[in-house]
Structure 1
Amino acid sequence: MTINFDASELERVLHNAANHMTHTAPLMEDISRALLSETMMNFQLGGRPAWAGLSPLTIARRRGGAGAILQDTGELKRSIKATHTNDTATIGTNLVYAPTHQFGAKMGQYGHTAKSPIPWGNIPARPFIPIDKNGDISYDGFLVVREVVNGYLAGSFG
C-alpha cells in the first residue's frame, strides 16, 4: 500500500495564514471601520443604553431645540475619524469638549478642556465611542472587534 501526500495545498494555506499575521493593516482597517460604525450607530440610536435626556436649559440654548442628543450642530459626529496602521486601529476626535460628553462632568469642575470650570449644571456621561470610563474598549466594542478578527482569521486559512 502506498499513500501519497501532496503538501502544496497545505503549504499555500499556511503561507496565506502567515502572510495575514504579518501584514495586519487590512485587519486594523476593518477594526477601525467597525468601531466607527458602532459609534455612528450610537448617534443614530441616541446611545446604547439610551443617553440621558437634555435639560430644559440645554434645550433652550440649542439651535435645533430638543433635537437629537449630541447633534445640535453635527460637529462632534462629523469630527470622529477612523485611522489605522499595521499595528493599531484607532477611532477618535480632536474636539476638546468630546471627553466631557463621553465621560460627563460636574458643575464647577474643570472639564476635559482644562481651560475653565464647567459653568453650567452637571453634564451626564453620554458615551458615543465604545469605550468605558477607564478608556478601555467596552464589552459591545470588544464583541465587534472579536467578530472582525474571527472573520479575518477564517479568511486567512481559505
Structure 2
Amino acid sequence: MKLDRHDLRILDELQKNARITNQDLADKIGLSPSPCLRRVKALEESGIIIDQVSRLNPSALGLKLCAFVHISLDRHTPERFESFERQVLNYPEVMECHLIAGQSADYMLKVIVPDMEHYHEFLITKITPLEGVTGAHSSFVLRNPVNRTALPLPIQ
C-alpha cells in the first residue's frame, strides 16, 4: 500500500491516541469523516494497523521486575527455532521474543514478573528445561527512561 500524507497523519494521530473518534481524527488531518474512516479501514486491511490496545502500568499491577534474557540454543535449525518460539509464545511473562544476531545468544526475551523470586521460578521451570536451551543470561532493568510504542513516521 502506498502511503500519502493523509495516511501518515492518520497513523501518527492513532499512535498518539487510538481512542480518538473518527470525527476528531478527520478534523485533525483535514478530511471529512467518510474518507477518513475508509482510509483507516484500508490501513487495517493492509496490515499496517495491526491492533489497538490499552497500555498498562506493570508496576501498578505488582509486576516490578523486567528482565532481558539472552538464550543460547544447541542447534541452529529451523525446527529448533520453531520449537523454541512455539513454546515461549505460551508464557505470559514473555512480552517480546527476538531472534538476534551479533551476540553469542540466539534469542533475546523481554520478561516481566512480580519479583526476583518469580523470575527465578520462571527461569528454572519454564526456560532452562526447554529442549535445546544451552544457556540463559539475564540483565535486569533498573530504570526505564524511554518507553515508546509509537513508530517514527516520515510525516509529509
Q: TM-score, normalised by structure 2?
A: 0.29
Q: If each structure's helix is expressed as a fraction of its own residues, which one has the higher value? A: 1
Q: TM-score, normalised by structure 1?
A: 0.28
Q: If each structure's strand is expressed as a fraction of its own residues, which one has the higher value? A: 2
Rg (Cα) greater in structure: 1
